[in-house]
Structures are given as structure tokens and as C-alpha cells.
């Protein structure tokens, strides 16, 4: 795939994936197009032949893998992971509020969202609804209103003269989106509104009664290339759908396919403790079924490297003082290896060395990040996966600005570099990426 085609493909993947459910559905489509077959956790995996497969949990996390042979002791898996969720606003169970002719939608804040950029945006709503038809079984579908149906207007500066120096945001009262105006008393039922959208997208759901939902707001503005030379890309959910897309592309285009696995986890932004999060049992369960012999499984894990891919903080020219002066990741200078002495990142000198070799083989530059000592360091799925499985792990990711904003900024070359590095990781024919012993 050429570099420009790659960016186009990435933009379309992110634009069409407003929620983790849509991320997984679109990832499944990509995998199926490349010959991956779906396995179900509720089915038997006893007889699966060598080949390429994927499995989904909670419609929001996905594991895809290639096994070239029956599981055996000498096998090593090239493993990598990223996360499907992004911070944002989630619709409350009883959301509708009716004030001053405005119908508003109560929302919860999901994860560590940067809240100010949510004001004055053309927002839409998407997610998963569960429904039933008269006594029938529970069914699920994804919905996406696609067009702008909500907005959170700012308070005018005339009504708050100190807004530019002292503004704070009350999470309960200031962020309630407007979705409709009505001059008649009483509000329509939210589930009736959902039902209409469900029917529009899924005509077979005629007669459905909505049981419940997981719905998020999102910005309808598509991704853009910005800058006199198109140096920057801006858009929602670059953290971390950019990484999901790179892993999917690298896994599917590596030829010949080698023993490899990717995990795309939900719930990273809220601590990863869930059935489908990185601190839950999803990956472990899948590895136990693929490698049922515990002796073999331990040997495989001991031979394997896990690359945890999540975006890093590029140095912001307006706020460079927030960075360690000797570790200043730049946009368009390749993936960043993230280190933390206190294990907020799982990278070690050894796993970082292995990743550097991979980048060198791919002809891709790479950089390093360490947090200032006087600022708290973030974390990601790397340390959790390392602790759950005992697998050697490196935390990496492309540099970006405005992390957790509704509109984030990255460099136009870095997605391509990341994809090249991950393709090299999955293609590596020899065992150089296994953990060596001290000679
Ligand atoms: Co992230």
C-alpha cells in the first residue's frame, strides 16, 4: 500500500468508527476481507486448523491471530495491542431534560476527556442498542445518527467576563447537550427516538422495543490534513484508533503470514478492569485455548515480545516546558519508545532494544519519551498485559498533540512509519525479536 492510500484508508477507518463497537465492526470487516475467519468464544476451538482467525468480546474488543502450524513448544508469537476506546461523553440511562423549550441529553464523562473542546461542536450520537420483539430473544445492533443532532453552546463572554482567565467547567451542569427544541410541554421518550433510528438503519428490527443502550456523543467533523505542506493530521480518536489501524494493516498485509496476534482492548481510558479490558482475562483466555498445554504456553510466552501501541506526547511548541528537556518527541519523526522507572510503562532496556532493531530493519526513525520527574506519568495497556501474562513488553506509540481533546493533532508521516515498523515486527523471519539471555 502506498503512503497516500494508507492515510486515506486510516481517515476512512476513524471517520466510520465513532465508538468502540464501530471500531470492532470495521476491524472485523477488514480482517474478513483478508481471509480471517471469525471464531466464537461460545464455540469449540478443539479442531481449528492452522490459519488466520479473530474473536470478539462485548462487541468492543477484538483479538486476531495467525497460527501457521499446530501449537508446539518452539513457537513464538509476535504480539501487539492497542485500545478501541477514547475519552468522551456517554448518554445517561434517563437522559432527557426539558428546560426553557430545550430538550437536553444528560451525559456521563467517559475517561479523562479534555472538556473545553466539546463546546460549540456539531455532535452526533452512536453506539449499541439492545432490543426485543414481543417475548423474543434479546438482539443487538449498532446505530449511528451520522448527522449533527446535538451541540453544547458556550456561555457568552458578556455573561462571564473572566472566562479567559478563570474558566472552570462544572461536569454535571455545564456539559448538557441540546438536542431539540419544543414549545409544547413534555418531552418525547428517548427510546422512541432511538427506535426510529434503529428502524432506519436496520429495517428487520420492525416492532422492536429498545431494552437498553451504550451510546456516545462524537464530533461529526471528519479528519483533515492541515498545514501549508499538509504536515499535520487532525481529528477525533487519533488516540488510539490510529494504532488499531496500523496493527490491523500490518497483521493482514504481512506475507507470508507468521505466528502473530493483535489485541484491541476496550476500556483503556477507564482503567482496563472489565471483561474485555487489558486487565481482564480476554487475552489470557484466548491464549489458553490456542495453547492448551500449560508447558507449551509458558514456553511460547517466554519467547514472545508484546508491543503495546498507544500514542505518546509530542513536544508542544507553546508548552515545551512541560517536557523533560532531553526527551522531546517531534511530530513526523517516527514512533516513540516510552520509558518510566516506576513501571507506568512496561518497557525495559531489553524490549526497547528489540523495538529499535525492528525500526532499523523497517527503515523507520524512532524516538524516546520519559515524563518529567515533577509530573505524574500516564499509563496504558502495556504494564497491565505484561503483569497479566508475564510477557516481555515494550510501550511505544506515535507522537501527538492535544491528547484526549475531541480534536487531536498528529504528524502525517507517523501513521505510515508506525505501520512499516509493525509490518517489520510481524514479518521478522528469525528469532531476533525473542528475548535473548545475557551472554
Ligand atoms: Co491512548
290 Cα to the center of ligand 1, angstroms: 28
Domains in the chain, CATH or no CATH each: 3-86+236-433 (3.40.630.10), 88-219 (2.30.250.10)
Buried b (16+ CB within 10 A) or exposed e, 397-409: bbbbbbbbbbbbb
CA of 345 to the centre of ligand 1 (A): 12
* Interval between CA 370 and ligand 1 midpoint (Å): 16
CA distances from 346 to 282, 293, 341, 387 (A): 19, 27, 9, 9
Q: Distance from the CA of 172 to the center of ligand 1, in angstroms?
A: 25
**CA 310 / ligand 1 centre spacing (Å):** 5
- Distance (angstroms) between ligand 1 centre and the Cα of 85 equals 8
Distance from the alpha carbon of residue 86 to the mean position of ligand 1, in angstroms: 7
Specify the pLDDT at position 439: 66
Q: What is the pTM of this model?
A: 0.96
pLDDT, residue 432, reads: 53
299 CA from centroid of ligand 1 (Å): 30
Taking the centre of ligand 1 as the mean of its atom positions, its distance from the CA of residue 277, in whole angstroms, is 13
CA–centroid distance, residue 311 to ligand 1 (Å): 6
Ligand 1 centre distance from Cα of residue 364 (Å): 22
- For residue 20, how far is its CA from the centre of ligand 1 (angstroms)? 13
Kindly give the distance from the C-alpha atom of residue 232 to the centroid of ligand 1, in angstroms, as a whole number.
19
Cα–ligand 1 centroid distance for 160 (angstroms): 34
Secondary structure class of 29 (helix, strand, coil): helix
Q: What is the 269 CA–ligand 1 centroid distance (Å)?
A: 7
Residues with C-beta atoms within 5 A of ion ligand 1: 239-240, 310
182 CA distance to ligand 1 middle (Å): 39
Look up residue 428 and give its three cell numbers: 521478522
pLDDT at residue number 433:
59
Distance (Å) from CA 355 to ligand 1 centroid: 19
Residues of the chain under the 50 pLDDT cut: none
Kindly give the distance from the C-alpha atom of residue 276 to the centroid of ligand 1, in angstroms, as a whole number: 16
From the CA of 183, how far away is ligand 1's center (Å)?
Answer: 43
Which helix (H) or strand (E) covers residue 15, if one does? helix 3-15
Rounded Cα distance, 220 and 177, in Å: 14
* φ, ψ for residue 158, nearest 5 deg: -65, -20
CA of 120 to the centre of ligand 1 (A): 24
Q: What own/partner pairs with CB < 8 Å and gap ≥ 24 does 106-112 have?
A: 106/176, 107/175, 107/176, 107/177, 107/217, 109/171, 109/175, 110/85, 110/216, 110/269, 110/270, 111/85, 111/86, 111/87, 111/269, 111/270, 111/404, 112/87, 112/269, 112/404
Rounded distance from Cα 164 to ligand 1 centre (Å)? 29
Distance from Cα 240 to the centre of ligand 1, integer Å: 5
- Class of residue 53 by CB neighbours under 10 A (exposed 0-12, middle 13-18, buried 19+): buried
Q: How much distance in Å is there from the Cα of 19 to the middle of ligand 1?
A: 14
Q: Ligand 1 mean position to 308 CA, how many Å?
A: 10
Amino acid at each position: 500500500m502506498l503512503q497516500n492510500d494508507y492515510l486515506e484508508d486510516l481517515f476512512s477507518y476513524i471517520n466510520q468508527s465513532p465508538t468502540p463497537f464501530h471500531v470492532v465492526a470495521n476491524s472485523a470487516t477488514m480482517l474478513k476481507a483478508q481471509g480471517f475467519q471469525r471464531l466464537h468464544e461460545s464455540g469449540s476451538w478443539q479442531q481449528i486448523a492452522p490459519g488466520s482467525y479473530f474473536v470478539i468480546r462485548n462487541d468492543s474488543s477484538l483479538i486476531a491471530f495467525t497460527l501457521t502450524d499446530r501449537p508446539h513448544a518452539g513457537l513464538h508469537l509476535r504480539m501487539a495491542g492497542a485500545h478501541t476506546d477514547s475519552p468522551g461523553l456517554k448518554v445517561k440511562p434517563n437522559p432527557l431534560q426539558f428546560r426553557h423549550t430545550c430538550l437536553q441529553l444528560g451525559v456521563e464523562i467517559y475517561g479523562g476527556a479534555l472538556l473545553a473542546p466539546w463546546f460549540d461542536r456539531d455532535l452526533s450520537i452512536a453506539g449499541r442498542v439492545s432490543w426485543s420483539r414481543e417475548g423474543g430473544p434479546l438482539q443487538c445492533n449498532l446505530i449511528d445518527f451520522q448527522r449533527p443532532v446535538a451541540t453544547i453552546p458556550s456561555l457568552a463572554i458578556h455573561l462571564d467576563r473572566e472566562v479567559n482567565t478563570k474558566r472552570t467547567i462544572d461536569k454535571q451542569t455545564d456539559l448538557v447537550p441540546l438536542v431539540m427544541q419544543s414549545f409544547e410541554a413534555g418531552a418525547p421518550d428517548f427510546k422512541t427516538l432511538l427506535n426510529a433510528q434503529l428502524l432506519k438503519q436496520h429495517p428487520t428490527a420492525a416492532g422492536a422495543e429498545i431494552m437498553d443502550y451504550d451510546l456516545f456523543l462524537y464530533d461529526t467533523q471528519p479528519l483533515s490534513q492541515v498545514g501549508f505542506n499538509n504536515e499535520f493530521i487532525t481529528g477525533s480518536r487519533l488516540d488510539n484508533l490510529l494504532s488499531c489501524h496500523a496493527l490491523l494493516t500490518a497483521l493482514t498485509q504481512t506475507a507470508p503470514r507468521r505466528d502473530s496476534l493483535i489485541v484491541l482492548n476496550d476500556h483503556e481510558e477507564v482503567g482496563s478492569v472489565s471483561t474485555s479490558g487489558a486487565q481482564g482475562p480476554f487475552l489470557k483466555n484466548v491464549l489458553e485455548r490456542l495453547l492448551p498445554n500449560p508447558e507449551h504456553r509458558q514456553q511460547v510466552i517466554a519467547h514472545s515480545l508484546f508491543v503495546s501501541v498507544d500514542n505518546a506526547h509530542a513536544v508542544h511548541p507553546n508548552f515545551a516546558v512541560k517536557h523533560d528537556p532531553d526527551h522531546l518527541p517531534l511530530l513526523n519523526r517516527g514512533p516513540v519508545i516510552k520509558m518510566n522507572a516506576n513501571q507506568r510503562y512496561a518497557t525495559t532496556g531489553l524490549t526497547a532494544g528489540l523495538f529499535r532493531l525492528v525500526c532499523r530493519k523497517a527503515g523507520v526513525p524512532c524516538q524516546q519519551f520519559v515524563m518529567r520527574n515533577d509530573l505524574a506519568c500516564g499509563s496504558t495497556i502495556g504494564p497491565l498485559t505484561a503483569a497479566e501474562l508475564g510477557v516481555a513488553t515494550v510501550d511505544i506509540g506515535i507522537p501527538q498533540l492535544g491528547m484526549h481533546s475531541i480534536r487531536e493533532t498528529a504528524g502525517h508521516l507517523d501513521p505510515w512509519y508506525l505501520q512499516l515498523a509493525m509490518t517489520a515486527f510481524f514479518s521478522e523471519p528469525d528469532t531476533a525479536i525473542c528475548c535473548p539471555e545475557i551472554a
